[in-house]
Amino acid sequence: MKENLIHYRTCVCNINYHMVWSVKYRYLQKLVQEIAEDKGFTVHLFECGEGDHVHCFVSAPPKLSITAIMKYLKGISGRKLFERFPEIRNQLWKGELWNHSYYVEMVGSVSEENIRRYIEHQSKAY
């Protein structure tokens, strides 16, 4: 992938992450892509897995911390979903779309192809 090339002379690179967080509502893929485009990172894969969480394969420039990326994805998506579907707030525990936890793994020790296969397989249960 061209965007993953590291240019040592100019110190420009992208960092790949495998991210997992719980989801309480599934109308997200288009919204997540819009958030990523607006905030300057790329979502390569996005799947809902095992009934209650999301798997996301993301590339981001080093200037974006993983905390900022998660804040954008959870915060903006939650706000926009509640604006569009206000009735879902009553169906959620404590009226919150996302719980506070997430898991992130920097891709490097596992090949990108293995991460892609794993994430794509998450949607097979549905």
Average pLDDT by consecutive 10-residue portion of the chain (126 residues)?
44 61 62 95 82 82 93 91 83 78 80 82 59
Provide the pLDDT for residue 27: 64
pLDDT at 21: 57
Of the candidates 75, 119, 80, the one whose C-alpha atom is nearest the C-alpha of residue 98 is 75
Report the 10 Å Cβ neighbour count for 39: 15
- Which residue is catalytic, options 27, 72, 103, 118? 118
Clarify whether 103 is annotated catalytic. no
Q: DSSP readout, 50-82?
A: TTTEEEEEEEE-TTS-HHHHHHIIIIIHHHHHH
3-state secondary structure (DSSP) of residue 15: strand
Residue 10's pLDDT is: 46
Q: Domains in the chain and their CATH numbers?
A: 16-125 (3.30.70.1290)
Is the pTM here over 0.75, yes or no? no
Q: Which residues contact 52 (CB under 8 A, 6 or more apart)?
A: 22, 23, 24
